[in-house]
Chains A and B, each alone.
Chain A
Amino acid sequence: MWNKLCTLILCSIIIGFCSVNKTTAESGKIDAGSVGVKETSGKFVAYYFHGNFRCNTCRKIEQYSRESVELYFSEQLKAGDLTFKVINTDEPENKHFVEDYQLYTRSLIIAEFKDGKQVKWKNLAKVWDYLNDKEKFYEYVKSEIQNYLAQL
């Protein structure tokens, strides 16, 4: 009986491993805005990068980032000067973002484009420091993006 149980558990694990790639591709389709760095149409892009594994803390960073961008930059969003994109870096076509922006975890990046080409970018790494203070988080994102948009 125990041997059967062990075999069953081990088989489930092996099947799990084999289905990883399939699952990755399927889950990636849900919310990925797969747009390459050079293909973007807006002048400024705020990217939130995540992977297939979505932890609660990471969802909170995404939520706060989206909320603060929508709260303080609604005009620029409407005008198309600023775009907020959520990208899954575990999708094969998005893997290049990891090297492009030297990502090491879930991150919020602000990037500036001119004539379709990226001219500069910044990792707003302190989003991790202000996780437990929504107002400070909002203020941080606001001031960092404002510095970029000041050139508009």
Chain B
Amino acid sequence: MDTASIPLLSALWLGILTSISPCPLASNIAAVSFIIKRVDRTSYVLSSGILYTLGRVIGYTVLGILIASSLLSIPQTSYFLQNYMNKLLGPILVITGLFLLEILTFTSFGFSFSQKSTARLQDMGIVGALPLGILFALSFCPISAALFFGSVIPLSVKSGSNIIFPSVYGIGTGLPVLMVAFLITAGIKNIGSIFKKITLFAYWMKKTTGVIFMLVGIYYVLTYIFYLSLL
């Protein structure tokens, strides 16, 4: 693709390319399952999808600004994020999975909430999509590092705009995830309405999200901490 003539579209395309590459497949599966966690309420799916993409946009934009202002060097940042963020991601996903499955609860740590507060806390669960997006954006793998540091940042520097290119790239990385999330939501809603059991589907979706988070977390632990070649 000619990156000089349509730079913004290039940044968007680079984002899509990052997202559909095999490297971030595991984190994308976790993201989709998180977004469609409340499959019974389309507004929740929409909000968490937007928040997840916004998280990615924030992650890349902040990084782009810090690099452009020479506060961070590209080699050090790229290697630091590739080496440490992925190691951190595994345990975080496993622990989040344990919370989603309610194996771990806040009461296990001595906190107690009223029923009303617990319900409010669960509603706030969608806000978790934002840090999830930031975390996944910063967990670079070799392909995303090549595309972001090798193509998006040079495009950004060349154009003199340090915010717009990383942001558009972030939107690009979120788009395939959003698309898959909405397709699955539509599918489940259709099947759910046929069998009139959407609430039951929603109940199991939350459990499934927990299991997926645990599995993806274990995959990250095995791949990035123990360096086992699983894929």
Contacts and interface: CB of A to CB of B under 8 A. Distances in A.
Given A9-B98, A53-B223, A125-B150, A103 B75 contact: yes
A55 B144 CA distance: 12
Interface residues of A, number: 34
B104 A6 contact: yes
B interface: dominant SS: helix
A24 B225 CA distance: 9
Nearest to A24: B227
A91 interface: no
A128 B227 contact: no
Given A102-B75, A103-B79, A23 B226 contact: yes
Contacts of B87: 17, 20
B226 A55 contact: no
B225 A17 contact: yes
B86 A128 contact: no
Contacts of B229: 54
A88 to B, nearest CB: 11
Nearest to A16: B225
Contacts of B78: 103-105
Interface in A1-56: 2-3, 5-6, 9-10, 12-13, 16-17, 19-20, 23-24, 27, 51-56
Contacts of A20: 87, 225
A133 interface: no
Interface SS of A by simple majority:
helix
A148 B159 CA distance: 31
Contact of A105 (B98, B150, B227): B150
Contacts of A10: 95
B128 interface: no
Contacts of B29: none
A17 B226 CA distance: 9
Contact of B149 (A6, A24, A27, A104): A104
A58 interface: yes
A105 B83 contact: no
Contacts of B160: none
Given A6-B104, A20-B225, A99-B76, 16 more contacts: A6-B103, A9-B94, A13-B90, A13-B91, A16-B221, A17-B91, A24-B227, A51-B142, A53-B141, A53-B142, A55-B143, A103-B75, A104-B150, A105-B142, A105-B145, A105-B146
- Give the top 5 A-B pairs by smallest Cβ distance, nearest first: A104-B78, A104-B149, A105-B145, A16-B225, A105-B146
